[in-house]
Amino acid sequence: MRVSGDRIIEWVRRLEGFRDGTYYYEELQRTAELLRAEFALMGFRVDSDEFVFKHRHYSNIIATKEGIHTPRRWILIGAHYDAVAGSPGADDNASGVAVMLEVARVLGPRQGVKFVAFTLEEPQPGAMSFLIGSKHFVKEMLSLGHTYQAVFILESVGYMSREPGSQHLPPLVKAPRVGDFIGIIGNKRAEPIMELFKETAERYVPQLNVQTHRVKLNGYLILPTRFSDHAPFWDAGFPAVMITDTAMFRNPNYHTSADTSETLSVEFMAAVAEALLWTVETLWDEFCKGA
C-alpha cells in the first residue's frame, strides 16, 4: 500500500467542523485557502473557478500540472468541501476531500489529470439549489473547451459497518444489506470506468468490497443517485461515477452534529484511496502518458 491512512484521517480532522456557505461562510473560505495551500505544497498549479451566489463569492479549487488555459480531455478526481448547515461533515464530505488529497499526494502533478474541490454541493438554507459549484464548473470548463474522459467524484467514503441490516437501499437498487462495501454509481457512458475500478480493486486491494450500479436516464428514475457533483457531468454527456459509502442509506450520522471523525474507518478510507489511485494510474498510462 502506498497511501497513508494516517494522513487521510489527519486531513479529515483538519477539515471537519462547521463550514456551510451561509452561517459559516468565513470557515468555508478558510477551508478553501487550506486546500489551495495543500495542493501548492504538492507541486500543483492551483487555479480557481469563481462564482457568486446570493451576493457572496465562492471558489471551486482546481489543481493541475499545466493549468486550465489549454483545452484538453481530462481525467478528473473531485470532492466537495462544504458541509451541510449544522454538521461538522466528517463523512460528508471531509472523507472524500481527504481521500482526494491523498491520491493527489501519491500521484503528483501529471499531464491531463485534474483534481477539483467543489463548493456549495449541499442544499443551501432558504433555497432549493444544490450542486451549485459543480454546475458552474462544468459550464465554465465547457466554455474553455475542456472535455472529460473519466470523472471520479468522492462522496462520503469513510463510514462502514459489518452489522447485518446496516445497509439500506433506495428502490430499484440491488446490493448487500451489510454496509461494508464502497459503491460505484455510474451511467451508461461510465460503465467502462466502473468496471475498471472494480477489476482494479479486486487485483490490488482485495480487502475492499466494491459494488457497482448503473443508472438509467442519468439517474432521474432514482433521484438519490444524482445527489452529488457527478450529476452535472452526466448531464453534459461525460462518463462520471460517484464513489460513495451510500451516505444516508448507511450512516446514521448523516447531516447531523454527530458526523465526526471518530465514527469513520481509517482502513476503509485508505483502501478506497488505494483502489482509486491504481484506477487513475491505469487510465493515465492508457490515455495521457507521453501526451
* Ramachandran area for residue 237 (φ above 0: left; ψ -120 to 50: alpha; else beta): left
Write the DSSP string, 220-233: TTSGGGGSSTTHHH
> Per-residue pLDDT tens for 237-284?
999 999 999 999 999 999 999 999 999 999 999 999 999 999 999 999
Name the residue among 237, 238, 241, 261 with its Cα closest to residue 251.
261
Confidence of residue 288 (pLDDT cuts 50, 70, 90): confident
Identify the DSSP state of 42. T
- Cβ proximity of 253 and 259 under 8 Å: yes
C-alpha cell at position 261 = 471523525
Q: Map residue 290 onto helix, strand or coil.
A: coil
Q: What is the pTM for the complete model shown?
A: 0.97
With bands split at pLDDT 50, 70 and 90, how would you rate the model's confidence at 218? very high
Can you give the pLDDT at residue 125? 84
**CATH number, domain containing residue 96:** 3.40.630.10
Question: 11-31 b/e with 16+ CB inside 10 Å = b?
Answer: bbbbbbbbbbbbebeebbbeb
**Range(s) of the domain holding residue 263:** 5-287
- Write down the pLDDT at residue 126: 79
**Overall domain count for the chain:** 1
Confidence of residue 70 (pLDDT cuts 50, 70, 90): confident
- 21-68 confidence digits (pLDDT tens): 999 999 999 999 999 999 999 999 999 999 999 999 999 999 999 999
**How distant, in Å, are the alpha carbons of 21, 132, 133, 205, 244 from that of 52?**
11, 10, 10, 41, 28
* Mean pLDDT, range 220-242, rounded to an integer: 97
